[in-house]
Amino acid sequence: MIKLMENPPIYLELYQALAHFVARQQLVIRAVIELGVQPETLVGVGAWRGKTPQVGTWGDEWEFFFHGGGCELRSLQSGEPIDWNGPDPLAFGRMSFLHHLKWRLENEPGLPELRAFVAEHDMIAVLDLIQELIEGGVVTPDCHIEPGTPTAEQAA
């Protein structure tokens, strides 16, 4: 397994950004459940049909959009996009992560290593870094953060 603290800091920062995104996806899963759809049923295109509208608002702060086998929330105030593709509540989609990371880099401070990397390369090049985390055993090939990898607090 790759040792995050023995590699360039960008790997730890990327790991923390992935963990942040997986945690934010739990909000989408909560919305999905409250909208009457069980996450495990989101297999295949349109599994939400007949259970909830495809588009609408959830609470006072979010709009939702069901697509294929997933759902995206978008903050009405900040525009933050959080997209989750079901049915696995702990998996992340690489492109969904990039979309969220782009928003974070444009709207939040921090993430200096990723910010510099994207400025030098481009957003899509982050996929290569994720692949390196997969090859290093920090992320599984099916896009789960590997158990036992240090949390941000433990790594700091």
> What pLDDT score does 16 carry?
94
**How far lies 79's CA from each of 38, 45, 60, 87, 126, in Å?**
25, 25, 13, 24, 22
- Choose among 24, 25, 2, 21: nearest CA to 155: 2
pLDDT digits (tens, 9 = 90+) for 119-154: 999 999 999 999 999 998 899 999 999 766 554 444
Mean pLDDT value of segment 8-21 = 94
* pLDDT at position 48: 79
Which residues face 7 on adjacent strands?
none
Percent of the chain with pLDDT over 70: 90
State yes or no: pLDDT of 34 exceeds 50.
Answer: yes
pTM of the model as a whole: 0.89
